[in-house]
Amino acid sequence: MPPDEGLALHDAAVDAAAGPLMEIGSYCGKSAIYLGAAARELGTVLFAVDHHRGSEENQAGWEHHEPDLVDPAVGRMDTLPRFRRTVHDAGLEDVVIAVVADSPTLGRFWTTPLGFLFIDGGHGPEPAHRDYETWVPHVRVGGVLAIHDVFPDPADGGRPPYEIYLRALGSGAFEEIGATGSLRVLRRIGDGT
Q: What is the mean pLDDT of each run of 10 residues along the chain (193 residues)?
A: 96 94 94 98 97 65 63 77 96 98 95 97 91 97 97 89 97 97 97 72
- Residue 117 to residue 9: CA distance in whole angstroms: 10
3-class secondary structure, 76: strand
3-class secondary structure, 111: coil
Q: Is the Cβ–Cβ distance between 28 and 53 less than 8 Å?
A: no
123 is a catalytic site residue: yes
Active-site choice (10, 123, 138, 148): 123
For 3-188, the fitting CATH number among 3.40.50.150, 3.50.50.60, 3.30.70.141, 3.30.465.10 is 3.40.50.150
- The predicted structure's pLDDT at residue 71: 67
Residue 131 contacts by C-beta under 8 Å, 6 or more apart in sequence? Answer: 24, 25, 103, 104, 119, 121, 122, 164
- The predicted structure's pLDDT at residue 45: 98
Q: Is the Cβ–Cβ distance between 164 and 130 less than 8 Å?
A: no
Residue 75 contacts by C-beta under 8 Å, 6 or more apart in sequence? Answer: none
